[in-house]
């Protein structure tokens, strides 16, 4: 019998969570670089809101995909 890889919903959920965590890391790096002296850059409030909401939304959707996929497989 051949070994099976991860189920499709697990792949999708892990991809979404990893993308969200990666975006969060890039956001934190970028914002820390902007706070250094000599970088007078101002971001629009809408863009800042998007930078905060997008990673959290990706992680939340990944968790929902995993839970719903797990429930459908039972």
Q: Rounded to an integer, what distance in angstroms lies between the CA atom of residue 49 and that of residue 51? A: 5
Q: Is residue 6 part of a domain?
A: no
Q: Is residue 2 part of a domain?
A: no
pTM of the model: 0.78
**Domain range spanning residue 62?**
11-31+45-73
Give the count of beta carbons closer than 10 Å to the beta carbon of residue 58: 20
Q: What is the pLDDT of residues 24-70, one digit of tens each?
A: 998 888 878 777 777 677 777 788 788 889 999 999 999 999 999 98
Q: Are 66 and 9 in contact (CB under 8 A)?
A: yes
Residue length of the chain: 74
């Amino acid at each position: 019998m051949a070994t099976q890889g991860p189920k499709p919903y697990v792949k999708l959920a892990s991809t979404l969570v990893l993308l969200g965590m990666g975006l969060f890391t890039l956001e934190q790096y970028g914002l820390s670089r902007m706070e250094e002296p000599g970088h007078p850059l101002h971001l629009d409030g809408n863009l800042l809101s998007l930078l905060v909401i997008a990673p959290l939304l990706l992680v939340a959707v990944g968790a929902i995909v995993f839970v719903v996929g797990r429930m459908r497989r039972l």
